[in-house]
Structures are given as structure tokens and as C-alpha cells.
Structure 1
Amino acid sequence: MAEPTQTQAKVPPAPPATLVIFGATGDLTRRLLMPSLINLTREGLLTDDFHVLGIGIEEGDDEMLRKRIADFHPEKGGEGDTGHGAAWDALSQRIHYMKGDFTDDATFEAVKAKLDEAGTKNAAFYLATASQFFGPIVEKLADHGLMAEAEDGFRRVAIEKPFGHDLVSAKALNAQILAKVAETQVYRIDHFLGKETVQNIMTARFGNMMIEGLWNANFIDSVQITAAETVGIGTRGKFYDATGALRDMVPNHLFQLLAMVAMEAPNSFDAEAIRDEKGKVLKAVRHWTAEQAAEDGVRGQFTAGTLNDADVPAYTDTPDVARDSVTETFVALKLMVDTWRWAGVPFYLRTGKVMAARDTEIVVTFRRVPFAQFASTAQERRPPANRLVVQVQPDEGLRMEISIKQPGLEVATVPVGLDFRYADRFDISKLTGYETLLYDLLIGDQTLFQRADGIEAGWAAVQPFLDVWAEGGRPEPYAPGSMGPDAADALLDRDGRAWHVGVGEAKAR
């Protein structure tokens, strides 16, 4: 086993377990899950009693899966980093493969036999599959006794998104799963919650009185949450055309960020206490009427153009996308959270494809000073609003924008930024964000996983937008390399506000 680094030396390793991955030959497993397991092995957080059993529909054996992972994973051999090389060499010998149909009872009997043969008491089942298999796989696992827990062993299931495609389907999926297993066994994945900066939101708030003391409607003007991507649809045309930007990003990723910003302080950092507070926030998001949803929601679809000197075909010219598709590749929403703390504070959310810069950030804008009391400063030159910018990706960090006096005889203010970048203090460049989630799955910590009521509250909040858009009309066009359609700017402009210009966007301009 690889020696633990100094940063993880005080964190105990996960208990012995077998991680059964349904969809082991897919992109998610190769691109994120296996690199994360390699990182955990390198940090000494997975012992020699940890095993991986991959299930896929392809013909193959253990060596096939190991080779596919090794060929895909750029860190194999460490590129000079012997820690990565040793970690892979140790872990790879404990990776096994079994061909199986996810709907066939024989597959689950074979999995049960494998676990019994190995004497496995602890098992976690990871569903890295298409969403239509989530419910049936959980039912099969339960029906074949694979989810039955003993006093000295656990059985858990991790489920990727999308968890439903609207409120009705999300409720149905929760009911299907919870009819077979306990909520304490279900780990609904949102990979945004594995990112260090996202986890740091609670620490920054509740660990610093100078921040938490101002964290309310008396001092905060508005909150913006942006998740902009420069990539297009790629080979995901069939999936994306049936999903769209709102379903893909808002009720999961962006709402989880909103909940961490807006939640009340939990009475402890116990998983259920935190999830209780996050659930309260999501249930407090105001449900718009059809008229309000039409006014406060913007959807866009990218046209043909160029981005970073490369030609980008229109969304409707993307493979496996309908030529007359009205699926949105961009969405911007104005939401309100009806609690005492946030009464009257708008939350603006946006996300989109082929935008000017890759940028996920949370921008908390504080109220401006009531007037400029500086003797030689005109009222129209009063300092700009202070902002706290939480940069989730890339260049993870925090930035506080404040005003100071400009040098000179005149009393004039200029904005400056107080910056903290994770990369300046810590090496997190090799992390995928799944390390924490996989480790928590194995130790049984549900803090960073979504609960059934939170999932349904998120869908309930966006259902009015889905209903209005389903009635017809086309998304607003926007050019690749922009930050969305003009209507998104108008959404804030009518409130006397504007979208924050992120660092990446500023560079692209």
C-alpha cells in the first residue's frame, strides 16, 4: 500500500470493502472514478483489502478493464511521480471485471457469488449507468439480497445524475428506490459537492464572524451563481437533446451551490443536520406562476460560430440532435428564497455551453454605501458595491472586492481585490473532486450527498420553467464565445444590475 502523505496522515483509511461499478467500461469510470481511486490509494486511504468489481456489457476479463483504465489514465506511471505509479500498480491487481446485463437476474446472482466467494461484508454499488437503469438495478440488488446489511457489514448504493427529468419522475424514482432500500443506504451523487472550494463555503461562512455577521438581506443586495462551459455537446447529442441545460445543471449542481450559500447554521456538522438545513432552503425557493416563470427565465441555444479560433457548428447541426430541436443549451433564472434571512434578495443563476470562458463562480454582492461622505467625492462616484467571489473552477479560490483610497490629494476611491487561490497554498491539481465523495461513501458519511426531499424540492422549484417552455417557442440564439443571449443581460438590467465579469471572461474579451 502506498505511504500516506503528510496532509492525509491523520485521516483513517476507509474500511475494507468491495466497490461494484455498474458501467465499468464507460467514460465516467475511466475519466473520474478510477483516477480518484488511484489518488485515494496514493494517500493511504484505501487499504489492500479494498477491491473493485467492474460490471459491463462488453466481452472481456480483468486484464481488459485494467488495460483500458491504464491506457486512458494519463497519470499511469506517474509521469515521473513514483507515488502515482506505485498506487496504480497496487490498486490494479485488485480490479476485476465481469460481463453482465444490468437487467438480467443471472448478473446479480453472479455478483452475489463473487462477493460471497471473497468473503466481502462491506460492499458499495456505484451506478455509473444511463439513468433508466437506476431503479431497476436497485430493485435487482435488493431482490437478490445484495442490499441486506449485517451488524458487521454495510451495503450502500451510489447513484449518479440525472435523478429524474422532472418533479413527477423524480418522485417516482425515489419511491421505487426507497421501497427496496433505506434512505441511509442511498448516496445520490452531485460531483460539484466534492470540490474543495464548494466544501469551503460552509467553513468560510460559519468559521468567520466577519462574514456570517453580514450574511443576510440587511447587507446583501443579490447573489449570482454561474456555471459557464467552453465545451459543446461532443458525442452526447442524444442524451443532451432529451435533457437540456436546465435539467442537466440547475436542480442539482446550481441548487446545491445555492443551498450552501443560503442555508442556516446547522446545530452540528452531522450529515443529517446539514442536509436538514439545505433541504429547508430548497423548499423555500419560491414557486413561480406561469407568468412569472416566463418573465424570470431565459433559455438560449448556440448558433454556428467560432470559439478559440475553432469553428463551432450550430447546436442543431450537432450529431444526434434533431434539426428542429428547441432544447436549450443556456439557461438563466431569477429566483427568490422566502426566508427571513433572504427576504427580497434575488438569486440569479446561469449556465451554458460554448461560452466565452470556463467559469463556475458564486458572486455575493453587498449593498452599496448609502452615500459618498468623502468631502471631494461626488455622489455619482460613491464606491462600488463590495463583492465576495467564490471561484469554484478553474483557479479555485476566494476574492473579496473592497474599496480603498486612491493615492493622491483627492479623496477618491478605487476597487481592489483581496485574493486567496488554493493553488498558492495547496496542491489540488491532481484531484478530480470524486475523491471525497468515494471516501465518504465508504465510511458512511452522507453530508455531501443529496437526500430524497432535497431532490424533489429542487425539481419543484424549476417545474414552472419546464412547464412554460414545454408550451412552445424557441430558445434565444447566442453566438459561441459569448456569455449567452441578450435576454440574459436584460434579466438583470431591468433590476438595475449586471452579470459579474469573471476572470476568465475578462481575459477572453
Structure 2
Amino acid sequence: MVSRTIPVQAFDLVVIGGTGDLARRKILPALFKRFCAGQMSDDCRLIGAARRDLDAAQYRDFVRDALREFAGELALNEASVAGFCAHVDYVAIDARGDMGWQKLSDLVATGEAQDAVRAFYFSVGPSLFSDIAERLERFGLTDSDSRVVVEKPFGRDLETAQALNAQLAQYFDEGQIYRIDHYLGKETVQNLMAVRFGNMLFEPLWNAQYIDHIQITVAESVGVEGRGEYYERAGAMRDMVQNHLMQLLCLIAMEPPAHFDPDAVRDEKLKVIRALDGVQPHHIVRGQYTASDGALSYREDVGNERSKTESFIALKCHLNNWRWAGTPFYLRTGKRLSHRDSEITVVFKDTPHSIFGPEAGRHRNELTIQLQPNEGITLGVTIKEPGPGGMRLVDVPLDMSFAEALGPAADAPDAYERLIMDVIRGNQTLFMRNDEVEAAWAWTDPIIHGWEARGDAPKPYDAYSAGPDDAALMMRRDGRDWKGLEK
């Protein structure tokens, strides 16, 4: 089943930082795939802008190399690559100076489509946001219909996030700002809302009366992989929990919005963040991977033998609201774990009374939403084990792999493809609003300040394991077990 292609309005997308790693690995391949799917008209343009001294022809060579490396089999079609590169241009600029900005303004003004959407992707560090925004305005590149895309990390605490929001607000209305979190572009993440609000089967049960607890795991088998300098400043809490896991928590726990429109959805997500209780120290487990199975330790990877930065964190959280009172949410993420695995598991409560007696064992329904590597949904149900010998119960999965049910995964847009096209369409549903970002930091900051004040050091764990033993102990104290990594 090939994904349905909906043409978008003509656009000029200016990628500031167009020679960087994010552009090479994600943005350029995503746009190329949308070009191959027929979503880019003849009037669409991609303009790279960066410090590197290149002309347009040299930048097109850069684009071709990026596509060969990261765009898969589609890039083997030379005609498609050539057709895409015909839409590509480049201007060398200085983000903190005036070099190149007038040339960029002149180039953008030459667009053939008078009503083209004009979007600017800030594929640079947050320290440059204000400088770039000021120059976009001063050189006449933006107007009230222009859009800007900014990547995480959006600040490193509440104070810096507020400062970044204030800087952008000097030049753009909130409706023009798209804070991108690629996790929200994943097909299964969006299906959280479809599963919850499109099925009468689940929504009546989606509360503390029927759900025992919910687990959210985002595990990576890789280490910091050349991002040591950044990761030392961030750690797992800032890098993953404050944004990715927080957004997943919001989607799994939010109330039904009145309508499926950007602000209605984001209003409900904001309520979830504001309902989060503070986390007690004994409900926090921080870890740091050690050398094992040929892998270097975290401290060796970042070049700091005294590092106290966490590469793993597990939290037990509670929402102080009517729907979820008393139902814990367990969040877990880390680097250099046993395998790559991102999933949400909703564990339902036991039946009020088992008619089969204690010998039948304990059986619970579990709904597992697999985000990566293979997107899909599994519902565990209890049935009688086939054969004679009495009523023996066994749990079996009702499994729906999206690839099997809907066609090859290669036919579905990836997260960046979807989100960039949403920018062009002006759909902010899957992008974070300023108050969401600030509320997330307001919850995160006290947790970080707490362990810093206590001088807590992360617990060591072997590379390619399930994380520190203390994370498993935290669950066992509650009579529960983690799902996923321990399989």
C-alpha cells in the first residue's frame, strides 16, 4: 500500500545550516523522498545557507553525496536525483555578520510563485537563533506569513527556554514558530490518538480504575557517538525526558480534545504537564554505562574520567488529576543498552475475581505500542491453552505490524518528511508550543537541581545491558517489572 500523496502549496525552504549533519542526514533525504512522491511542484525551491564557501553547483554535489548515503534505494535513480537538485540553490552567509544576507534576500525574491510559502529551518544551535531571526527581518526575508522551524535542544533549563522564546517572539508570532520534535512525526506516535479516541474499545478503560500502570521506554544501543561535548552538558534528562518522553506521556495521558486541531491538542498536552507531581528522590534512578563487550565506557567516550552525567534515567511519576490519580507512569531512557527499543506499554489491572483459582496464575492484559525499530501495536489477551488437562490459561498477542497490515514501511513517510510537509501546510498539531516547552522545563528543573544539590552520582551499568540494577529494584518494590529490554 503506497502512502497517499497530497500535493502541497509551492514553497521556498531555506535551510540555515544547510551543510550541517542534520541537513545531510535528515532534512535533505526527507525532502528528496517527498519530491519522489510527487509533493514538490516545479515552483518549490530548497535553498541551503551556511558559512561554508560553496557555489550552487558545489552545494548540489554535497546534496547528491548526502542522498547517496542517507536516502536509500531512491537515490540510485540518477534522474530523480538530478530532478531534485534542479530545485536546489545555495548562498554562503555569516550568521553573526552581514555577509551573504542581501544575496539570500535577492535570491528568495526571485521566486516564480507569488504565493509560495516561505519557511526557514534553523538547523543550527540555539545560540544563533536570535542573530538569524534579526537578520531575516532586517534584510526583508520574512513577513507575517513566513514560518520558522527550530530544533531541540530548546534551552537547557526554564530560564534559557524563556529567553529563547522571548528572542523569537521579538520577530515572529507564536503561530509562525514550529518547534520540531521528530518523535511526534512517527506513525505510531500519531496512532496513539487514533487508538485512544477512535476506538470505543479503549477510551472507556483509559483511566486509573482499569489501568494498573504505564511504562514508556526509549532505549538506544549506541553510545554518545561523537556527541560527547553536547551530551556532557545535557545528559539523558535534558536530552530525552524533557522533550521526547514528555511528549509521549502527554499523548498517552491527555484528555480528549474538543477538536483535532493544533491548539486544542496542545491545550490538553499542556494540562498533562501541569498535572505532573514532583518526583521523589527514591523514584529516580540515574545510570552511566561502563566498558563491556568491547564498548568504551561513557567516561572514555566523553573524555572525562570524573563525569557525573547520566546516560540512563528511570523515573516513577504521578499525575495529580481525576483520570490518573494513583496510577504510576514509569519513564526510562538510556544509551548503550541491550538493544534499540522504543515502546509504550499500558498494563491493565487484574480481573476483580478469578474464577479459575490461584493455580491459573496471574494474567493481565497489556497494550504495547511499538515505536521503533518496527512500528506496530500488540494487545495481549488471556485464553485457554489448547489441549486436555483442565483449564490452563496462557497469554497470547493480538499483533498488528503496520508493515504487514498497511504495506512496506518504506512506502510511509518518515518523521522528518511528515513534519516538514506539516510546516508547509501550516499545521502545528505535532509541534510544541512555547507554554508547553516552559511547563516541561518547570517540571524538569527541580529534579535536576535536586540530584545536583545532593551530589548524587549515576549508578554504573554494563554496556549492552538493561541498565542499572537499581532501576529493576525500583519496579520490584512496587511488585512490577519492566517490559521490553529484558525480553
Distance 2:247 2:299 in 1: 30
The Cα of 1:418 is off from its aligned counterpart by: 0.5
Could you say which residue in structure 2 is the equivalent of 1:286? Answer: 277
Could you say which residue in structure 2 is the equivalent of 1:420? Answer: 400
Contact 1:372–1:382 (8 Å) recurs in 2: no
Distance 2:252 2:88 in 1: 39
Question: Deviations for 1:295-334, whole angstroms, at most 9, x for unmatched residues?
Answer: 211111111111xxxx11111111x532211111001111
The Cα of 1:246 is off from its aligned counterpart by: 0.8
| Equivalent residue in structure 1 for 2:166, among 166, 171, 175 | 175
Mind listing any 5+ residue stretches in structure 2 that lack a counterpart? none
Contact 1:226–1:362 (8 Å) recurs in 2: yes
Question: Deviations for 1:153-196, whole angstroms, at most 9, x for unmatched residues?
Answer: x3000000000001111111111211221000000000001110
Could you say which residue in structure 2 is the equivalent of 1:476? Answer: 459
- Pair 77,475 (structure 1): closer, same or farther in 2 beyond 3 Å: closer
Could you say which residue in structure 1 is the equivalent of 2:66? Answer: 72
The Cα of 1:111 is off from its aligned counterpart by: 2.0
Question: Deviations for 1:229-259, whole angstroms, at most 9, x for unmatched residues?
Answer: 0011111111111111111111111111111
Could you say which residue in structure 1 is the equivalent of 2:152? Answer: 161
1:125 partnered with 2:120: yes
The secondary structure found in structure 1 opposite 2:213 is: strand
- Pair 208,77 (structure 1): closer, same or farther in 2 beyond 3 Å: closer
Larger deviation: 165-174 or 116-125? 116-125
Question: Deviations for 1:79-107, whole angstroms, at most 9, x for unmatched residues?
Answer: 4x599554322211111111111111344
Could you say which residue in structure 1 is the equivalent of 2:4? Answer: 8
Could you say which residue in structure 1 is the equivalent of 2:343? Answer: 361
The secondary structure found in structure 2 opposite 1:399 is: strand
| Equivalent residue in structure 2 for 1:96, among 89, 96, 111 | 89
Contact 2:221–2:335 (8 Å) recurs in 1: yes
The secondary structure found in structure 1 opposite 2:396 is: strand
1:51 partnered with 2:32: no
**Aligned 1:73-472 pairs, distance under 5 A:** 73-74=67-68, 79=73, 85-118=78-111, 121-149=116-144, 154-288=145-279, 292=280, 294-306=281-293, 311-318=294-301, 320-374=302-356, 377=357, 379=358, 381-407=360-386, 408-424=388-404, 425-429=406-410, 431-471=413-453, 472=455
Distance 2:48 2:12 in 1: 10
The Cα of 1:78 is off from its aligned counterpart by: 6.7
- Pair 286,142 (structure 1): closer, same or farther in 2 beyond 3 Å: farther
The Cα of 1:452 is off from its aligned counterpart by: 0.5
The Cα of 1:429 is off from its aligned counterpart by: 2.8
The Cα of 1:198 is off from its aligned counterpart by: 0.5
The secondary structure found in structure 2 opposite 1:392 is: strand
Distance 1:66 1:84 in 2: 16
Distance 1:267 1:343 in 2: 22
Contact 1:56–1:100 (8 Å) recurs in 2: yes
The Cα of 1:67 is off from its aligned counterpart by: 1.7
The Cα of 1:361 is off from its aligned counterpart by: 0.2
The Cα of 1:76 is off from its aligned counterpart by: 8.4
The Cα of 1:116 is off from its aligned counterpart by: 1.6
Amino acid at match of 1:409: G
Amino acid at match of 2:399: D
Contact 1:386–1:400 (8 Å) recurs in 2: yes
Question: Deviations for 1:357-394, whole angstroms, at most 9, x for unmatched residues?
Answer: 100000000001133212xx3x2644421100000001
The secondary structure found in structure 1 opposite 2:205 is: coil
Distance 1:48 1:86 in 2: 15
The Cα of 1:16 is off from its aligned counterpart by: 1.1
Amino acid at match of 2:58: M
Question: Deviations for 1:280-307, whole angstroms, at most 9, x for unmatched residues?
Answer: 111111134xxx2x2211111111111x
Amino acid at match of 2:96: T
The Cα of 1:410 is off from its aligned counterpart by: 1.0
TM-score for both structures, normalised by structure 1: 0.90
Contact 1:298–1:333 (8 Å) recurs in 2: yes
Distance 1:89 1:83 in 2: 11
Mind listing any 5+ residue stretches in structure 1 that lack a counterpart? none
The secondary structure found in structure 2 opposite 1:164 is: coil
Q: RMSD of the alignment, in Å?
A: 1.9
The Cα of 1:33 is off from its aligned counterpart by: 0.8
Contact 2:118–2:147 (8 Å) recurs in 1: yes
Distance 2:464 2:270 in 1: 36
TM-score for both structures, normalised by structure 2: 0.94
Contact 1:396–1:422 (8 Å) recurs in 2: yes
Contact 2:285–2:471 (8 Å) recurs in 1: yes
Report the identity percentage. 41
Distance 1:134 1:337 in 2: 34
- Pair 86,220 (structure 1): closer, same or farther in 2 beyond 3 Å: farther
The runs of 4+ residues in structure 1 deviating greater than 6 Å are 75-78
- Pair 77,441 (structure 1): closer, same or farther in 2 beyond 3 Å: closer
Contact 1:23–1:127 (8 Å) recurs in 2: yes
The Cα of 1:143 is off from its aligned counterpart by: 3.6
Could you say which residue in structure 2 is the equivalent of 1:41? Answer: 35
